[in-house]
Amino acid sequence: MAPNLTLFRPRTAPESEYAPEPWPEIGETWKPEGVIVSTRFLGVAGAVVLVYTADAGVNGTYYAVACLGCSFRTRTKDDTNYISTEQAGGEIANAHAAQCRALPRDLPTRPDDDTAREIVRRRLHSERRSDYDVTVYLTSFHLDRLVLQRSTEWIEEELQRLADDQPEFLTARLRSYGSSTEFTILRFPKS
């Protein structure tokens, strides 16, 4: 008589233990301030890839793509042209989601105002050049929008505050067309 080899018999677990997880709630409910999520893709291991935009600016609506599981973020199609259509953003997001093996992570928490101000300052300093002045466009902040979680108005107010506090770094003036303000990062001073 053969011994009972239950050690090699496949165990059956309760169904709930191996049930697939439902689509993450962020797919439908997470709406950070200042961000309009237009499309969501699910990565290979469950990370969510977003196509998003912000309020239309002076130059129109542009999109960005960000993976909430890894560090992938882009606001350009080919390192030169901004993502100008939701469809183009979807193609980039879908391509990333098809190969991204990042696990889902917790949603970014909304930073306090001091931390958000520091994010804005870092973005501006990264745009500063030594040989020419740089016009600040709100699209410059697209990659930071998911972390900032602030409205366009808040960003503009912060830019105005910086221009008032540090006129040697950032200037503000009314645009020659329309009623909005144009901000300019001044080049590094020559030694």
> Could you tell me which residues come within 8 angstroms of residue 118 by beta carbon, excluding any fewer than 6 positions away?
none
pLDDT in the model for residue 59: 65
Could you read off the pLDDT of 88-130 as tens digits, one per residue? 999 999 999 999 999 998 888 999 999 999 999 999 999 999 9
Angstrom distance (rounded) from CA 146 to CA 64: 10
Q: State the residue for tokens 């291991």.
A: 45
pLDDT in the model for residue 180: 79
Residues of the chain whose pLDDT is less than 70? 1-29, 55-59, 178, 191
Angstrom distance (rounded) from CA 94 to CA 38: 13
Angstrom distance (rounded) from CA 17 to CA 22: 13
Bridge partners, residue 48, by sequence: 42
What pTM was estimated for this model as a whole? 0.77
Q: State the residue for tokens 């501006």.
A: 124
pLDDT in the model for residue 29: 67
